């Protein structure tokens, strides 16, 4: 996880994306409700968050759908779900692509927020 945080901070500066220090939450298990509860726990009023990045151990469509549903409908916030294996394969490239997608998404969403 340390590599991901360091790479994100380094690459985000190069891409011109302003990224604050992440709030990292470890979960007890990989059940869908654990991910949703972890996101709820991370969304506090103390910091104005614009994005939730969730790293999942394996690709499961029901987990992806649950996370996206919560982030879009129940607590409107931009979200990015990343499979851990993707980050392990091509570390820097994967982080760069994810940050580019996230930045693009946030820029598009800011055009629609009044």
> pTM of the prediction?
0.72
Q: Is the CB of residue 108 less than 8 Å from the CB of residue 23? A: no
Hey, what domains does the chain have and what are their CATH numbers?
2-106 (3.40.50.2300)
pLDDT tens over the chain, length 114 residues: 566 677 777 777 776 767 777 778 889 999 999 999 999 888 876 567 778 888 899 999 999 999 999 998 988 888 888 888 877 765 556 666 676 676 666 665 555 544
pLDDT of residue 62: 95
Residue for token digits 């469509």? 61
Please name the residue ranges forming H helices in 24-90. Answer: 32-42, 61-69, 84-89
pLDDT of residue 90: 55
What is residue 51's three-state secondary structure? Answer: strand
pLDDT of residue 32: 94
pLDDT of residue 109: 55
């Amino acid at each position: 996880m340390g590599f991901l945080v360091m790479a994100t901070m380094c690459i985000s500066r190069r891409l011109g994306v302003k990224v604050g220090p992440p709030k990292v939450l470890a979960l007890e298990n990989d059940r869908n409700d654990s991910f949703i509860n972890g996101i709820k726990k991370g969304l506090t009023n103390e910091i104005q968050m614009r994005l939730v990045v969730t790293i999942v151990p394996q690709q499961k469509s029901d987990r992806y759908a649950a996370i996206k549903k919560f982030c879009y409908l129940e607590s409107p916030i931009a979200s990015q779900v990343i499979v851990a294996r993707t980050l392990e394969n091509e570390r820097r490239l994967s982080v760069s692509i994810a940050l580019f997608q996230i930045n693009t998404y946030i820029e598009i969403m800011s055009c629609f927020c009044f």
